[in-house]
Amino acid sequence: MKMVKSLILGSAAAIVAMSGAQAADLPVKAKAVEYVRICSLYGAGFYYIPGSDTCIQIGGYVQVTSVGNGGGIVAGAYSSTAGAQNRTTNDFYARSRQGINLDTRTATEYGVVRTFSALTFSWTTGTDAVAGGSLGVYYAFIQFAGFTMGKAVSQFDVPWTNYPANIFDQLVGGSGDVTGVNQFSYTAEFGNGVSGTVSVQDPSGGYYTTNIYNTAGLTAAGFATGAYGTASLGGVKAPDVIGMVRVDQAWGLFQASLAAHDNSTLYYGASEPTGHPGDKWGWAGQLGLSIKNIPTGPGDVINVTGAYSNGASRYVFQSLVPTSFAMYGGTSAVGAYQSLGIAGVTDAVFTSTGTGSDLELTTAYGVRGGYTHNWSPYWNTTLYGAWSAMRYTTAAQGMICATAVGFTCNPDFDIWQIGTQTQWTPVKGLTFTGLLTYTGLDQKYAGTIALPASAAIAKPAAAYELKDQNNLMIGLRAQRNF
Contact (Cβ atoms closer than 8 angstroms) between residue 123 and residue 97? yes
pLDDT for the residue numbered 33? 57
Domain membership flag for residue 34: no
Residue 153 has pLDDT above 50, yes or no: yes
Please, which pLDDT band fits residue 22 given cuts at 50, 70 and 90?
Answer: very low
- Examine the pLDDT at 12 and tell me if it is beyond 50: no
Would you say residue 13 has pLDDT above 50? Answer: no
* Averaged pLDDT of the chain: 93
Q: What is the reported pLDDT for 132?
A: 74
CB 81 within 8 A of CB 456: yes
Query: C-alpha 426: how far from its chain's center?
Result: 28
SS3 216: helix
The confidence band for 125, taking pLDDT boundaries of 50, 70 and 90, is: confident
Whether the Cβ atoms of residue 263 and residue 280 lie closer than 8 Å to each other: yes
Count the Cβ atoms, other than its own, within 10 Å of residue 160.
Answer: 18
Mean pLDDT value of segment 90-106: 96
421 forms bridges with which residues in the sheet? 382, 435
End-to-end CA distance of the chain: 82
Instruction: Decide if 377 is inside a domain.
Output: yes
For residue 233, being part of any structural domain is answered with yes
Question: Model confidence at 28, in pLDDT bands (50, 70, 90)?
Answer: low
Tell me the one-letter amino acid at 262: D
Give φ, ψ of 274 to 5 degrees.
Answer: -75, -15
Task: Give how many domains the chain has, as a whole number.
Answer: 1
pLDDT computed for residue 130 by the predictor: 62
Q: Percent of the chain at pLDDT above 90?
A: 89
> Is the residue at 216 inside a domain?
yes
pLDDT computed for residue 113 by the predictor: 98
Which CATH number is 392's domain given? 2.40.160.10
pLDDT average, residue stretch 205-214: 94
pLDDT tens, residue by residue, 416-442:
999 999 999 999 999 999 999 999 999
Label residue 426 exposed, middle or buried (CB < 10 Å: 0-12, 13-18, 19+): exposed
In contact, 382 and 372? CB cutoff 8 Å = yes
pTM above 0.85, yes or no: yes
Q: Is residue 452 part of a domain?
A: yes
**Is residue 107 pLDDT above 90, yes or no?**
yes
Instruction: Assess if residue 19 is contained within a domain.
Output: no
Task: For 58-89, write each residue's pLDDT tens digit.
Answer: 999 999 999 999 999 999 999 999 999 999 99
Q: Is residue 195 part of a domain?
A: yes
Q: Which of 39, 47, 92, 102 is nearest to 70 (CA)?
A: 92
The predicted pLDDT at position 131 comes to: 63
* C-alpha span between 173 and 390 (Å, rounded): 11
Determine the pLDDT at residue 32.
Answer: 55
The mean pLDDT of 272-299, rounded to a whole number, is 96
Report pLDDT digits (tens) over 228-258.
999 999 999 999 999 999 999 999 999 999 9
Assigned domain for 23 exists: no
Look at residue 129 and tell me whether its pLDDT is greater than 70. Answer: no
Q: What pairing do the DSSP bridges indicate for beta strands 134-144 and 147-152?
A: antiparallel
CA–CA separation, 310 and 211 (whole Å) = 13
The residue range of the domain holding 237 is 62-481
Cα Rg of the chain, angstroms: 31
Contacts of 142 (CB under 8 A, 6+ apart): 113, 114, 115, 148, 149, 150
